[in-house]
Structure 1
Amino acid sequence: MQQVSKVFYISLVVAVLFIAWGAWPNSNISEVTTNIQGFITDKFGWFYLLSATGFLIFAIYLVFSKYGKLKLGKEDDEPEYPYITWFAMLFSAGMGIGLVFWGAGEPISHFNAPPGLDTEAQSQTAAQEAMKYSFFHWGLHPWGIYAVVALALAYFKFRKGAPGVISAVLVPLIGEKRVKGPIGTTVDFIAVFATIFGVATSLGFGALQIAGGLAFQFDGIENTVTLQFIIIAAVTILFMTSAMTGLNKGIKYLSNTNIVLALLLMFFLLFAGPTNFIMDYFTSTFGSYVRDLPYMSFRMTPFSEDSTWVGDWTIFYWAWWISWSPFVGTFIARVSKGRTIREFILGVLLVPTIFGALWFSVFGGTAINLEYFQGQDIYSDVTGIGEEVALFSALQHVPLGGIMSIIALLLISTFFITSADSATFVLGMQTTNGSLNPDLKVKFIWGVLQAGTASILLATGGLTALQTVSIITSLPFTVLLILMCISLFKEFQNEGKKVGIKKKNSAK
């Protein structure tokens, strides 16, 4: 087996112990994690809010700074993938399952339980707020977090020749000696730990929605934990098969398939549903999103007796994105060699944000239109069964809804496989000293452990357990992200001085 680092063994032991704890009869894992999550949300919600906004501001600053022209690689390096494939790969790894899961579920939930404490449910104002906050939670902020991690890893890996691990980014800040010692090992362990549970959350969402969709569409099928386990087992076999083919075959082809299926489903619903309403809704909401972005970025409710909404939604999302960032960041970095910093950040920020906004407008807009104008009760399915069935509940009211539901299930499955496949690659890379082609045995081990972690979380608390662990694992990595930004900026300053010296010498 390929040479693995200390982080591999430490992370492996911790992951196995966690799975064993959850599988133990009468395990108190759900109670313990819920208590920890409650403490973190109450005491550090503001920290998540300020940090996520700070990462976005830092990314935007770099676009307009003098460092934007620097390449993620040597000066003569060219991008390895064309734009379409690049966007497909980063998008599939970054948000695929989540968009399908929450595309209709989040807007319809906000419409019936508005983020504004004084907003009347199911009102026009509630509809506007519902879509605006859906854009907010899936827009610039999460991609700003991803961009910072990916940029740091790609810059140090491809331009400086450093190992493709998180700790290598901190060399300018704490020195190479400390990075190669216990501090560096701890940093990489935190990144791997956050990745395991961040990805497990998304895999759990995927299993929940596939099981929910099957139960909703076919009589005689029940959405049980057993069915969810069977789905995870089946998908594990599929994504491990894909992982064996490598980055340029399995993940590349699956990512392109995902985009085709996603576009097919989205454009069908756009034109089969209330087209004018959807596009008007998209246009007006995107404007209000841009206008109110500063306010939403710092919104807390310190004077409200019921301030749980921000914690249950915004703080959870920021924690979820941060816990996903070492995984998505490493993967985006791997496929972004040869692009300039300006090109990279603009691509990572703008394209997924606009596409995500259109996605929510189509699926969430259709669901809200069905309730507001046609009197259909989509929300009762959400509250009675779960957010995972909102998409299927909405599709049953449009032409060819049954066929579209089958395509949706197929899309969820391919997103599921792509995310898990990408995660095994990233975990393998992070635990083999940054190898760009991790050993198949290493990827296999992480694939099995990811599936086991997702299964345990579902068995011990379902969606609540998944959300809880995401928030817990993301807190230490938020601190690391801040240090990474400082270290990266310090290295940019050094690079700028070198570039300036070269220019002066050439002028002479």
Structure 2
Amino acid sequence: MAAVVAVVAWAALGKDSFADASDTALGWVLDNFAWMFVVAADVFLVLCVLIALSRFGRIRLGADDSEPEFTNLAWIAMMFSAGMGIGLMFYGVGEPLQHFLDPPPGSGVQPQSGGAALLAMEYSFFHWTLTPWAIYGIAGLALAYAGFRKGRGNLLSAAFVPLMGERRARSWPGKAIDLLAVFATVFGTATSLGLGALQVAKGLNITTGVEDSTATELVIIVSLSAAFVLSAFSGLHKGVKWLSTVNIVLAACLMVFVFLLGPTVYVLDTIPASLGGYLHQLLPLATRTGAFSDRTWLGAWTIFYWAWWLSWAPFVGTFIARISHGRTVREFLIGVLLVPSGATVLWFCVMGGTAIRLQSTGQEDLAGAVADGVEASLFAMLDGLPIGTVTSYIAMLLVMTYFVTSADSASLVMGSLTSHGSLHPPTWLVVTWGVLMACVAAVLLVVGGLDSLQTATILVALPFVLVMLALCWALLKELREDPGAGPARHHALHGVRDAVRAMVGEAITEQGAARHHRLRRAARSRTSGDGEE
């Protein structure tokens, strides 16, 4: 906690030196380690799919007779709200619209064309669906397995016991891992809270005329932090669960409204076309680095997103692990990968697709809203539909409640990480961490706004990439030894090896049979010859 306070104090008191140091460090990271973010993200996605389809999918996160703690609806609602609720509100319209107006460098498509619209949706899906949830899935699975299956507690270091042993996991190497998780969670969550404050301030400016200033953003952070404190005192089964369910219902109602009163047929056309395009282009998108393209664009979009998801991995991973007791590994991974990704596809097609349609047909000029800031895109799109003022207020309410649930969930995780992995950390500790994260968000907004939030996220996530890759190794090592996975011969990963062994065995058997047949014929020939003599 002292280290986080020190960084915040430096940013607040030494604004220029902090900005210079951050910019220099960011350039160095993008020049030297962009490839590592890209490769790591691909590893997490491939590993999630392989584990889910393998014999390891039968393992239960808890005792073999455990039952899920929450219903499917509550589980999905909490997982989705904690994972990226504010981000979807902020970028759900803004990202597709920005790529449509200004396609990525090197894409070769014309702005505001059909190709630009398809590319915009493909990149939005790439940044928001399978890959981020694979990052969360690996972290959550390792933590749930170590905590519920092995009973080691709720600390990230507990998942590294297979690599470093029980004793070292509890000494300084394990504490260093937990400290990195704390830093990543603080700054990753602060980025989300900062985005929420920016969007609420912009919504108030558009709908009520309140001045969009840093002072307004700070007032919003303070007010919503107070609401978070009330939610924190109500606990996981009341505050977070209730607000998460409300969020899902409100977001669904807003999406259905835009779908029905917006360009309905265009959205229906967009869903299969965009999804097919994304799946077809997944490999090229997933392997794009700065080698043959604009590194600056990559840092502002793909690398920022991967860093954001990685910095959220301890928080979201710990949280979804906490709410996933009693589920099987396969159920966990399929739920984490596909359900939020499917909802995200619908969200981007409805919200982003509507914005693209309004712009391309000339019904609304949304280019000015994008130039005014990504946070203005959602409200500009809603203003082009009936009762735009009412829906804008609903959108602001959604951002506020997502702010509260994100702060609440992250603070619960931070409290757990700093209280020896307790599943029920002291309320005062949870509140303290929530207030501190709000302070980090406020200071970063004052220092440099959205650019400062993005820079801090990428820098903090860099060392955590190595931690996450080591986590994959530790998880696989432990899953292979779990008797609940069943016999190894049924392992999906061994299928090719078994097939090769079978073919080789059959070939050897056939060769042996042929050789035996030749020997018998030779013996009969000799016997027949002797008889004639």
Q: TM-score, normalised by structure 1?
A: 0.94
Deviation per CA, 1:58-79, whole angstroms, max 9, x where unpaired? 0000011111100000011100
**Aligned-partner Cα distance in 2 for 1:402–1:332:** 35
Deviation per CA, 1:190-215, whole angstroms, max 9, x where unpaired? 00010000000000000000001111
**Aligned-partner Cα distance in 1 for 2:142–2:290:** 34
Aligned residues between the structures: 488
State yes or no: 1:270 paired with 2:255. Answer: no
Counterpart position of 1:317: 305
* Structure number with bigger Rg: 2
Counterpart position of 1:363: 351
144-153 or 367-376, which deviates more:
367-376
Cα offset, 1:307, TM superposition? 3.7
Match of 1:290 among 269, 274, 279: 279
Cα offset, 1:301, TM superposition? 4.4
Match of 1:186 among 176, 180, 189: 176
**Unaligned regions of 5+ residues in structure 2, if any?**
491-533
1:284 is paired with a residue of what secondary structure?
Answer: helix
Q: TM-score, normalised by structure 2?
A: 0.90
26-35 or 173-182, which deviates more:
26-35
**Aligned-partner Cα distance in 1 for 2:389–2:58:** 49
- Shift in alpha-carbon separation, 1:16–1:307, aligned structure 2, 3 A: closer
Matches within 5 A, 1:44-443: 44-115=33-104, 117=106, 118-219=108-209, 221-304=210-293, 306-383=294-371, 385-443=372-430
Matches within 5 A, 1:455-474: 455-474=442-461
Deviation per CA, 1:360-404, whole angstroms, max 9, x where unpaired? 111111111011112522121111x21001000011110111110
**Aligned-partner Cα distance in 2 for 1:310–1:24:** 31
Cα offset, 1:35, TM superposition? 1.4
Amino acid across the alignment from 1:358: L
Deviation per CA, 1:222-250, whole angstroms, max 9, x where unpaired? 11110000000000000011001110000
Matches within 5 A, 1:487-506: 487-496=474-483, 500=487
2:151 is paired with a residue of what secondary structure?
Answer: coil
**Aligned-partner Cα distance in 2 for 1:23–1:301:** 33
Cα offset, 1:408, TM superposition? 0.4
Amino acid across the alignment from 2:101: N
Deviation per CA, 1:319-358, whole angstroms, max 9, x where unpaired? 1100011000000000000000001000000011111011
Counterpart position of 1:6: none
1:300/1:310 contact within 8 Å kept: yes
**Aligned-partner Cα distance in 2 for 1:303–1:155:** 40
Cα offset, 1:26, TM superposition? 4.7
**Aligned-partner Cα distance in 2 for 1:328–1:498:** 26
Counterpart position of 2:497: none
1:149/1:326 contact within 8 Å kept: yes
**Aligned-partner Cα distance in 2 for 1:25–1:347:** 45
- Shift in alpha-carbon separation, 1:120–1:229, aligned structure 2, 3 A: same
Deviation per CA, 1:133-153, whole angstroms, max 9, x where unpaired? 001100100000000000000
How high is the sequence identity, in percent, across the aligned residues?
Answer: 46
**Unaligned regions of 5+ residues in structure 1, if any?**
1-11, 504-508
Deviation per CA, 1:469-497, whole angstroms, max 9, x where unpaired? 00011111110111111011100111149
**Aligned-partner Cα distance in 1 for 2:168–2:14:** 42
91-100 or 486-495, which deviates more:
486-495
1:48/1:318 contact within 8 Å kept: yes
- Shift in alpha-carbon separation, 1:497–1:88, aligned structure 2, 3 A: closer
**Aligned-partner Cα distance in 2 for 1:271–1:461:** 39
**Aligned-partner Cα distance in 1 for 2:340–2:168:** 37
Q: Which runs of 4+ in 1 moved over 3 A?
A: 496-501
